[in-house]
Amino acid sequence: MRIDIWSDVVCPWCYIGKRRLETALSTFEHADDVEVVWHSFQLDPGAPTTPVETVAEALGRKYGGGPDAGRAMIDRVEAAAAEEGMLWRHHDSQRVGTMDAHRLLHLALDEGGAELQGRVKEALLAAYFIDARNVADHGELRAIVTGAGLDAVAVDGVLGSEQYASDVSADIEQAQAYGASGVPFVVIDRRFAISGAQPAEVFAQTLERAWNDSHPALEVVGDAVTKADACGPDGCAV
């Protein structure tokens, strides 16, 4: 079974939703047959590579109320993160762009498949939310993703070029085609879409439903063979 997730590296509900999905997978009987692939989504494409303000300052400026209002918003997502067992330092996080982080996630998928990409995704989210690191800075990015297992030479090749930029765009277009206006956006078996960081139970129920849907019992259509025009060991119906 395949799970496609559209997500941004700086998206608080994406990290919280990731934990909730992991909770659902931890008790899912067929978790070994599940592959998770991460897709790019940019919440704030205009954010700078060199930060000029904290997330709290940016939120207060954008929605009004100043840094205090921004800090109150961060308090609320930090409380939700704490319920999932995560202690964030999101007050220290800075507003930065994520294009390069997404390009490296595409490299990870290419180089090591879903397993490596999953480790790189977790490392980037943890770096941003738990350690308040700058996930736009090339030196930081290099340290984060090589620490998760990506090859340093390949990483430098991507960071020194525009490689995978078109893959990032294609992911975003695919999200739009699905009608996803926000993230996280989770698609199970290309069939069931879960919008937002739903409770673990919603993920668990949808995993079960998708599994049963893709492993149906054989359904017999029409009359039983004994009534139909058929031939068997006892002859042909005539």
Q: Which residues of this protein are in contact with a copy of itself, per CB under 8 A?
A: 8, 11-14, 16-17, 43-44, 59, 62-63, 73, 76-77, 80, 178-185, 187, 190-198, 202, 205-206, 216, 218-233, 235-238
CB 93 within 8 A of CB 129: yes
Query: Of the two residues 58 and 127, which places its CB atom closer to a copy of itself in the complex?
Result: 58
Q: To the nearest whole angstrom, how small is the minimum distance from the Cβ of residue 76 to a copy of itself?
A: 4
CA distance 211 to 199: 19
CB 77 within 8 A of CB 90: yes
Q: To the nearest whole angstrom, how small is the minimum distance from the Cβ of residue 206 to a copy of itself?
A: 5
Query: Of the two residues 151 and 192, which places its CB atom closer to a copy of itself in the complex?
Result: 192
Q: Which residues face 36 on adjacent strands?
A: 3
CA distance 78 to 81: 5
Query: Of the two residues 79 and 152, which places its CB atom closer to a copy of itself in the complex?
Result: 79
Q: To the nearest whole angstrom, how small is the minimum distance from the Cβ of residue 51 to a copy of itself?
A: 18
C-alpha of 118 from chain center: 9
CA distance 117 to 145: 10
Query: Of the two residues 153 and 218, which places its CB atom closer to a copy of itself in the complex?
Result: 218
Q: To the nearest whole angstrom, how small is the minimum distance from the Cβ of residue 96 to a copy of itself?
A: 15
CB 148 within 8 A of CB 105: no
Q: To the nearest whole angstrom, how small is the minimum distance from the Cβ of residue 114 to a copy of itself?
A: 21
Query: Of the two residues 160 and 216, which places its CB atom closer to a copy of itself in the complex?
Result: 216
Token pair for 110: 């290419």
CA distance 139 to 121: 17
